Structure 1
Amino acid sequence: MNRALLDFTFFYPIVMSFLWVTGAVYYFFRREWRAPPRDRPPTLSAYPLASILIPCHNEGATVRETIRAALAQRYPAFEIIAIDDGSSDDTAVQLDALAAMHSRLRVLHLGRNLGKANALRMGALAARSEYLVCVDGDALLDEYATHWMVWHLTDGPRVGAVTGNPRIRNRSTLLGRLQVGEFSAIIGMIKRAQRTYGRLFTISGVIAGFRRSALHRIGYWSETMITEDIDISWRLQLDHWDIRYEPNALCFILMPETLRGLWKQRLRWAQGGVEVTRRHFTSLFSWRRRRMWPVVGEYLVSVAWAYAMATMFVLWAVGAAIDLHGGFRVESLVPSWHGMILALVCLLQFATSILIDRRYEAGVGRTYLWVIWYPLAYWLLCLSTTLVAVPRTLLRGRPRARAVWTSPDRGFH
């Protein structure tokens, strides 16, 4: 048992790292290497109206910046719909003042906090366009992002959504700098690899484009799921819509820079993964939905890896107190030669991702000095949140209450 656990916990991250690197490199050379630069997006035969949806709840400190960035889009035909979802601060007042100054901006006022999913639904129903670009109320949309999104959505009738490329704005702490490396070396690389191998596990909820008719077919966003972005991604793909990844569609976001804020965010993400897998698992047993199997399989194996690691910790702790015999004894948790191999593979992955990602952010290579802390900080975080999220979500039963807004930790900026 000891040997099997050790082999699994050691080989899983190495195998996944090589799969991510291989898929991302293939994606880069096929789709990015000779693509036009971010500031020269492809010319469209026609420029249909795009609707930029911005759901807001208590965003008074950031909403002016967000609206200003949305208004600066270098796309000829767009409208902005800001949805104030029962804010208790001055968000509504600021939005009304901005709407009076800018004819492209419309504001919807919802009477109480009904959650982001409901706010997005109201915005989609009020939109004049078939093509929706959704961005959070504290995020800054790059001036070319809408053009890149609409280019994908008009490229084929089965393109249901496009996920963009979030970039971290706040980098004043070690946690902030680590997340710069994470979004480059992990999240961006995984999206490229998943796009190469089949389907995406999730769009980035902070920046995504949608075809409204695709949303209408599947019933829009679910109001009871704790992570509406994972759920909408699965339901679109289970309905055979294509989701694309566009790294040129940049969006600058605020992320937690405290351990408590980071824990709450990642626990919510972990719970969302469990919720979505449980809700849609039985519907995956269809040959027509086979392209989702690798995504689901990798997720289930990652959960098994977290519990295997936890088992190793428990056996080591018990073995330190009593004498365990045979295959149950774990001599030490301190990495030896296999730890060095993991570290080298991790650094290779980071180096590859930075070489790819420097196309989109100058100076991103400076984060390489900080990502050496990534395995310790984030592998433990992901392991811990998974261990908590699985029993919490499964024991709670199917969610019935509406998932409403909670104010996130936006770091020090």
Structure 2
Amino acid sequence: MERLESPMRPAEALGYVGITLAIVTLFALPGVLTPIYWRVWATLFVVFILLGTIRYYLSILYSFRRPVEPHPGRPLSVDIVVPVLDEARVLPRHVRSILAQDHPGPIRAIYIVDADCRDASLRILRRFAARDPRIVIVERGGAPGKVPALNRARGLADADVVGFVDADVSLAPDLVRRAVAHLTSGADAVKGRSTPVNKRQGLMTAVIGAERDIRERIEYYSKHAIGGFTVLTGGHFFIRREVLDRLGWFDEGIITEDMDLAARIQIEGYHLVHDPLMMAYEEAPGTLRDWYAQRYRWYRGWLQGSRRNLGPALMSRHLRGFHLMDTAFLLASTLIAPLLVLYYVLVVLKFMGISPGAMVPNEVHLIASSISLFTPLAILLMAYHERRVGRRFPWVELPAIVLILPYLLLYSVALWQAFLDEFVLRRPNRYRKYRRSGRVDHDAFD
């Protein structure tokens, strides 16, 4: 949430192109000496894509599992922490959604932490605070940014459960009730499903909406249902306070604090639940520039969290069997996925007749290439899942079937830049906050 510059200025683009060409040249040089070099690399890339393909299609199968219905126990007290940085256009919707929760236990306090606001956010919040004493505004202090703001609530939030909700996220009325029910049914932390509220704003938001729905409802839920790594994203989650205290709250050196915390929760043997029936709503970036900056930031944070947690995950006494394998694969693949950009070099060489191809049977190529069918199948499957729970499927997402390929190609550019900045150039964390429009589709909450 830091108010910093865009991750790529036009003048910097040539520098990144030059670095990329240098890396590609170094990558290609051994192939001049021995043709087997290309076959080894092609084989590694095909195997990596094959593993990802199998993983994606497993997620489709396991997405049919009905979410476990939690059994509520004794009511637990809840404190909610909200970091705020220039969210005036969406704050009223956000605050009202928290105040409208039907949780039977007390929401004791809502700590709104100022992360260096310069718009009308604080004036809006003070009006809400004047009407509801549970709203406590924590003034700015210390380092700016989202993660330091979250840590400033340490020592203030002392309820049984602490919820963290981004200021642009609106919660369904039953979200806190379901979250606490999970926490009284054996979970130590829980997150729900986030979906954009502005899918009809344009083609960009329609494709983002399709991607978010597929990831949240199919991929992330299935990874949890199958017993793999449970992802903690989406701008909201709830955790037992004693567990959070034992974990030491948030690492301010990692951009995506939720991903890092999810890894530490599972490495330490705590139980994290993903409930796709806990609905939350957020605004997707409305411009290509904002989307690129957001995805660059997300992936750079994932690189940081994966580098930090891969070793501890492999050494963990609590991760076993498929959970260990999936966690290790996710963290390791996050670190090496940007290198798939080099796969484009092999495609060009193959087209030129220089690369002889991978040392695998044609059937393996066929299975790996079937990953291209995942998005169309997943979008149609989303229509089924939404209908099953009484939600209306936004058919505006259908253009993603055609546009997902250029979307993913551009995504790979953001991944590659994040990789270069983190491991090659070692540049400081840089991203800019995009302004919300406050746009909400007429059927966003249906």
- Structure 2 match to 1:313: 344
Cα offset for 1:137? Answer: 0.9
Structure 1 stretches of 5 or more lacking a match? 36-41, 330-335
Q: What is the DSSP-based 3-state SS (H/G/I as helix, E as strand, rest coil) of the residue aligned with 2:356?
A: helix
Hey, what's the Cα distance between the residues in 2 that align with 1:408 and 1:381?
19
The answer on whether the counterparts of 1:60 and 1:89 sit within 8 Å (CA) in structure 2 is yes
Relative to structure 1, the CA distance from residue 85 to residue 178 in structure 2 (aligned partners, 3 Å threshold; closer, same or farther) is same
Q: After superposition, what is the alpha-carbon deviation per residue over 1:37-64, rounded to whole angstroms, capped at 9, x for unaligned?
A: xxxxx67343222112211111222222
State the one-letter code of the partner of 2:220: K
Q: After superposition, what is the alpha-carbon deviation per residue over 1:319-378, rounded to whole angstroms, capped at 9, x for unaligned?
A: 77xx6535279xxxxxx9889844444322322233123445732151452231353143
Hey, what's the Cα distance between the residues in 2 that align with 1:206 and 1:198?
23
Given the alignment of the two structures, is residue 44 of structure 1 paired with residue 76 of structure 2, yes or no?
no
- Structure 2 match to 1:140: 170
State the one-letter code of the partner of 2:274: Y
Cα offset for 1:125? Answer: 2.3
Hey, what's the Cα distance between the residues in 2 that align with 1:138 and 1:365?
21
Hey, what's the Cα distance between the residues in 2 that align with 1:378 and 1:269?
16
Count of aligned pairs between the two proteins: 388
Hey, what's the Cα distance between the residues in 1 that align with 2:370 and 2:308?
38
Q: 1:278 aligns with which of 273, 298, 307?
A: 307
Hey, what's the Cα distance between the residues in 2 that align with 1:405 and 1:54?
20
Hey, what's the Cα distance between the residues in 2 that align with 1:386 and 1:205?
19
Q: 2:53 aligns with which of 14, 28, 37?
A: 14
State the one-letter code of the partner of 1:131: V
The answer on whether the counterparts of 1:351 and 1:368 sit within 8 Å (CA) in structure 2 is no
Structure 2 stretches of 5 or more lacking a match? 1-37, 359-364, 440-446
Relative to structure 1, the CA distance from residue 148 to residue 102 in structure 2 (aligned partners, 3 Å threshold; closer, same or farther) is same
Relative to structure 1, the CA distance from residue 392 to residue 227 in structure 2 (aligned partners, 3 Å threshold; closer, same or farther) is same
State the one-letter code of the partner of 2:136: R
Hey, what's the Cα distance between the residues in 2 that align with 1:367 and 1:189?
18
Given the alignment of the two structures, is residue 127 of structure 1 paired with residue 166 of structure 2, yes or no?
no
1:6-405 equivalences under 5 Å are: 7-8=46-47, 11-25=50-64, 28-29=65-66, 31=67, 35=69, 44-76=72-104, 77-78=106-107, 79-111=109-141, 114-156=144-186, 159-171=187-199, 172-200=201-229, 202-286=231-315, 288=317, 289-290=319-320, 291-301=323-333, 304=336, 306-308=338-340, 310-317=341-348, 325=354, 327=356, 341-359=370-388, 362-367=391-396, 369-395=398-424
The answer on whether the counterparts of 1:87 and 1:112 sit within 8 Å (CA) in structure 2 is no
The answer on whether the counterparts of 1:115 and 1:405 sit within 8 Å (CA) in structure 2 is no
Q: What is the root-mean-square deviation of aligned Cα atoms in Å?
A: 3.0
Q: After superposition, what is the alpha-carbon deviation per residue over 1:92-130, rounded to whole angstroms, capped at 9, x for unaligned?
A: 222222111112222211236522122222224212412
Q: What is the DSSP-based 3-state SS (H/G/I as helix, E as strand, rest coil) of the residue aligned with 1:353?
A: helix
The answer on whether the counterparts of 2:161 and 2:239 sit within 8 Å (CA) in structure 1 is yes
Cα offset for 1:305? Answer: 5.4
State the one-letter code of the partner of 1:175: M
Relative to structure 1, the CA distance from residue 295 to residue 391 in structure 2 (aligned partners, 3 Å threshold; closer, same or farther) is same
Q: What is the DSSP-based 3-state SS (H/G/I as helix, E as strand, rest coil) of the residue aligned with 1:73?
A: coil
Q: After superposition, what is the alpha-carbon deviation per residue over 1:216-239, rounded to whole angstroms, capped at 9, x for unaligned?
A: 111101111111111111112111
Give me the TM-score of the superposition, normalised by structure 1.
0.83
Identity level (%) = 21
- Structure 2 match to 1:332: none
The answer on whether the counterparts of 1:86 and 1:112 sit within 8 Å (CA) in structure 2 is no
Hey, what's the Cα distance between the residues in 2 that align with 1:131 and 1:64?
24
Hey, what's the Cα distance between the residues in 2 that align with 1:65 and 1:311?
44
Hey, what's the Cα distance between the residues in 2 that align with 1:328 and 1:337?
14
Hey, what's the Cα distance between the residues in 2 that align with 1:45 and 1:165?
23
